[in-house]
Amino acid sequence: MTVLTNRQATAPAPAAEAPRTTGRSFGMVVKAYIALTKPRIIELLLITTLPVMFLAAGGLPPLWTSIAVMVFGTLSAGSANALNCYVDRDIDQKMRRTRRRPLARHQVSPRGALVFGIVLGLLSTGGLWLTTNWLAAVLSTGAILFYVLVYSMILKRRTAQNIVWGGIAGCMPVLIGWAGITERLDWAPLVLFGVVFFWTPPHTWTLAMRYKEDYAAAKVPMLPVVATERRVVLESIAYTWATVACSLALWPVAGTTLFYPVVAAVLGVVCLWEVHRLLARLNAGKTGVALRPMRFFHWSNAYLALLFLAVAIDPLLA
C-alpha cells in the first residue's frame, strides 16, 4: 500500500492536465462541467431535502413544488460546488483524492468555472423564488454564499474547526425543503438541521484520516492533520452521540409515530457501535489504515440516508 501511495504521489501529471482548448468533443466538455458540480455530494444533499418535504406536508408533498425544490436545489448545490472548485483549484492539484477534478486537469478554465457557478446560483435563486417562495430562495442563496465565502475562502485553510462550522452549508437543504412546502421555519427542521450539523464532523474527519497526507501536502489543517488520532476519535465519538440524541429529539418535537424513534434508535446504536470500535482498535494499538476509519465513513453515509428515509415514511404511516 505504501509503494502504491508513493508512486501516485510522484507520478508525472497525466497528459490531460496540460491545458487544452481544442480537440475535445462537446460531450467531454459537458461531462467536465457536470463534474464541477460534484454530483455525488449533491446526491447526499438531496437525500436530506426530499424527506423533510414529506414531514412538512404531513404526507405526500405537492408534486410540482417537490420537483421545483429538488431541481433548483440541485442547481444551488451545483453552484456552491463549482465555485468551491474554483477557489480550491490550487490545492486540488496537490491531493490524490481531488487531482482528477476538471480544474486540476485543466479541462475547464478558471473563468469558465467561475461563470458557470455564478449562473447556476442565479438560476437556482430565481427558480426557487418563482416556483416556491422567497424564504426558500433566500436560504438557498445563503447556503451558497456561506459555503463559498465562509468555508472555502476563510475557514478551510485557517482552522481545524473548518468542517464543524463550514458544515452549516450542508445543513441548509433541510431548511430549504421545509420552507419550500410551508413558507416558514419550525422546530422540526431545526432539529434535523442539528442532526446533519453534528453528523458532518465525524463523517468528514474519518475520511480525512484516510487522506491525511493529502491534506497535509495541501496545507489544509483538517483535524486529523493537526491532532492525534486519539483526539480525532474521541471528538468523533462526542459528535456521534450528539447526532443520535438530536435524531431522537425529533420524535416529541414533530409528534411522529413510534416508527421513526424505533428506526432512529436502532440506527443510532449501530452508529455508536461503529464509532466506539474505532476507539477499541486504537486502544489495541491499531493506527493509520489499520484503524479502518473508512468503515465508519461509509456507515455514516448509510446512517443518514436510512434515517431520513424513516423521516419520509413516518408521516405516510400516520
Give me the pLDDT at residue 27, please. 85
59 CB-contact burial (10 Å; exposed 0-12 / middle 13-18 / buried 19+): exposed
Please give the CATH architecture assigned to the domain spanning 186-318. Up-down Bundle (1.20)
Give me the pLDDT at residue 97, please. 85
Enumerate residues 6+ apart whose C-beta is below 8 A from 298: none
Give me the pLDDT at residue 89, please. 94
| 196 close to 46: Cβ distance less than 8 angstroms | no
CA distances to 34, 87, 125, 194 from 120, rounded to whole Å, are 11, 16, 9, 27
How many CB atoms are closer than 10 A to CB 304? 22
Q: pTM of the full predicted structure? A: 0.89
Domain spans in the chain, listed from the N-terminal domain onward? 25-184, 186-318
Which pLDDT tens digits describe the chain residue by residue (318 residues)?
333 333 333 344 443 443 444 457 888 899 999 999 999 888 888 899 999 999 999 999 999 999 999 999 999 999 999 999 999 999 999 888 888 899 999 999 999 999 999 999 999 999 999 999 999 999 999 999 999 999 999 999 999 999 999 999 999 999 999 999 999 999 999 999 999 999 999 999 999 999 999 999 999 999 999 999 999 999 999 999 999 999 999 999 999 999 999 999 999 999 999 999 999 999 998 888 888 999 999 999 999 999 999 999 999 998
Give me the pLDDT at residue 12, please. 41
Query: For 16, which DSSP code?
Result: G
Distance CA 117, CA 80 (A): 7
The three cell numbers locating residue 110: 478558471
Distance CA 12, CA 233 (A): 35
Domain 25-184 belongs to what topology?
Answer: Tetracycline Repressor; domain 2 (1.10.357)
Give me the pLDDT at residue 289, please. 81
| 318 close to 286: Cβ distance less than 8 angstroms | no
Distance of CA 172 to the CA centre of its chain: 11
Query: For 183, which DSSP code?
Result: S
Which amino acid makes up residue 114?
Answer: L
Query: To the nearest 10°, the Cα dihedral for 172, 262, 201, 312?
Result: -20
